[in-house]
Structure 1
């Protein structure tokens, strides 16, 4: 309907209202020219229009939906001072004696109409069947309830979306003293507040990946958690800063940005001098990082932070949140069988028992000796919620093996050596970039190597007499001449360490701890290149992470015969030998069997 048609209807409406008397049904039909009014829902009574007058200004024409106008409820009283409620229109009518009444229908509320013969003295405002106050009209009560709701939202900081049973009950007869507006507003607000079952508080919810969330009380707490989680995996004193950047499309969403404040190694490093070369070569400090700085650090998963209102009991402190995202939890992964794998090796390399592996893979136990390369198995891998990758620039020293010249001694068994002229090991300074994931190295790039001192030659009288085949003496010798014991048998990093670790420069000789027959030699998953020797009487020894293997399966070796070289293959964090002793298939603490 256009504007001209609307104005025409208005004129007709006023023209007909000026008539002294008219049946109200005909008036509506003729004036509004609508056939959609359901008159069955309207109770009509004859109205004396003799003294009826209408104030044009009291009609809110903007609120009339002319197109979809339909009367749904309404009652025409005996006197024109009553309200006509038709559809979406609220029309104020003024009678000849000047009494005005109006009614605004409140969504979600019940309004009880007064009877035909009695005037409304006051209106009771009820919430959840409790009378909270008295107001002069329904509209005043509705306005007070809405004002209280707005105040509550401002007070809470969010809309609690309460479903309240609100009623406005008109009363007649004796007048009542109306409740003070300020007092009623406070009562309504407090009543609504008391009805909230779970009070929410403002928090910062961090989502890591697809399914992990944690809530903290402030942005500062959130930064502390992310900074603390990264420092768990950093071994130097680098300062890490976390800045929260707001999403340009949604200011309530933030993403963390990681910055490393110190990115350069100090210029005035204390390089080794000739006076300290010998001491360094002989000390346990050789091979250790003596300077390190984090160049880059990043978070592998997508992390989103949302400012939101959450239940108070969902907020955790910084220490708890840091532990939650760095603690390793068992997660189901797929493992692809590789050359040299067996169920026991696969279980060990993934921190599981063989029984746990069998339980996860139906039928595996029955075909344990027939698993195929490339076959996929289900394993449980301990992983934290947060993955932190870093690139560290490091400077460290490594020992350069001294040159050895051997003079054969046919009267002494192989492996029996006597130093005739001692030599001195050299020192190499290495400048490298180390890439880590959650503090574990997975790649190393050598940037520069500087020889600080050259090694000298050592003359050795070497036994050349052949050892008896599989000559197991029953005692075990430490399988390296020069080594540092870096890890013992027992619990380590939340799992069982099944042997001992002996660190040494790459290429250092590994010797058989006792005589026996080689029963395994080659690649073995997490062990890298490894050798296993059977010493008889149910005893075997294992040598892992080698860079080279000098024996083959079926070969008989004598005690202290060279079998491999120290390396960093498999699941290894640096050049070392992982050494195990098994008795009847059970791993034992090698320290209880070795002769030092």
Structure 2
């Protein structure tokens, strides 16, 4: 009896005798001995259960080291531990070896910008703040829907009207039948009368709104150090950031007015444009330069229906005069502003207006247009009277004129060898050809636009008074006659009898 009792008490904690190999295993986890079990499968199951219990104790994703080691032995009798005890020790080891905890988060991507938020509520808060800058009455809300263009599970934003969404939730549409369907069919066939709206019939305010950039939201697990608090995210997404844009130069633009219009310091405008050397650099219509524009990370596009009254100008009316050159124009009638009432659908991107569609307009009193009479004849062009040559004296006052010459130079001089061909700068009629005192041998030509050109210090004249000449026709040879200090051609252009700087008129 004693022997039988002894066997019964010993059997639960001693492994049965097996001669097929290792029948008892000393189990270690991450170098810590956690107990003895009868099989490798039992040890692996205990580890799985311990890891499952650790995961169940936290809502976050936990990364933990778990290196399981087994030392087997073949024994006749051996003491083993209960699986419950081994599992408990394994759980303690796992808790002491947690490498990091990854929190469930939501990554919001807007173009190249991305931010990690701790919850979906934070995502709605962020997008709602961006929308709320322009939807001050809270008429619209943001929803997250699955992006149909992506193969992976990515959410994207969808802006919906709060009022419309509420109506759809409240409406329970039942199928029409019988008399109800017949009545509905009758009303559908009736065409409404078209009645012109009054200003009071228009609904004013925000009509539509959406994000101008695509928003992508992805669920992820990240360390807490990589998650941004909601207020910081709102500041980053909604506050204006300086963004480079291309601006095309328009008529009337100067570097100063561009810097003022865009609120850019002049030195910054110069720094971001390699083609601009300083504030005096030349810019031309059609040139493109870089400017900085304040914009938020997430653009919002919206339309508003607005009523306003304004003074307006009528379009300028032009009357062509076929006997005038295009350089001549005269105002026949001075303009005056009119006044009108307007309902317009105005489109915006953030705070910038990008379009305006007039829905209704009522003129209080008409504007008087400006009427301008203008010429249609393209004026003749003027060319340099010689090929080559060196500009030796410009137009205007000179400090040390040649003896007998005026201190104010009324033309320009090109130094050139005697005998260089002199050509008519423009087509016209020769009015004088001969000796002209200080000019030496000189030729005067009258042109169809009322201007006159003069060619002085010639060595030989090849035309006569009254002769018509074409542009570029050879009229003389250069020389050194009259009051002159060297071989050159003196050239003048006169408008209304007064000399002007020829360089301003030569093509």
| Superposition TM-score, scaled by structure 2 size | 0.50
Q: Normalising to structure 1: TM-score of the pair?
A: 0.43
Which structure's CA Rg is the greater one? 2
